Amino acid sequence: MRIKINGRVQGVGFRYAVERTAKDLGLLGWVKNQPDGSVMSVVQGLNAKIDELVDRCQKGFGRSRVDEIQVNPEPVDKKLAEFKIIF
């Protein structure tokens, strides 16, 4: 899945919280800040675990504020072996 999170999600540790949560859930993929101020993530794993990650992102982490989340299907990338932050 490709997840785009809009709101106050940059400069508040959001990517690090997504990375930690995704790893705890056993998901693969990446998370990255976008030029428009959003955060983008590509996530692979069990649907229930992806749904849990999306729910946690919707609630926000720390000082973040989530205004909108867009979730779209993404083709499986067999090269993904872990979850990481991309800079």
pLDDT category at 87 given cuts 50, 70, 90 is very high
**What percentage of the chain has pLDDT greater than the value 70?**
100
Domains of the chain, start order:
2-85 (3.30.70.100)
- State the CB neighbour count (10 A cutoff) for residue 29: 24
pLDDT category at 25 given cuts 50, 70, 90 is very high
Q: Which of 2, 6, 8, 33 is catalytic?
A: 33
Compute, in degrees rounded to 10, the torsion defined by CA atoms 58, 61, 66, 70. Answer: -50
Check if 63 is active-site: no
Note the helical H segments in the chain: 14-24, 47-59
The model's pLDDT over 43-82, given as tens digits with 9 standing for 90+, comes to: 999 999 999 999 999 999 999 999 999 999 999 999 999 9
Check if 15 is active-site: yes
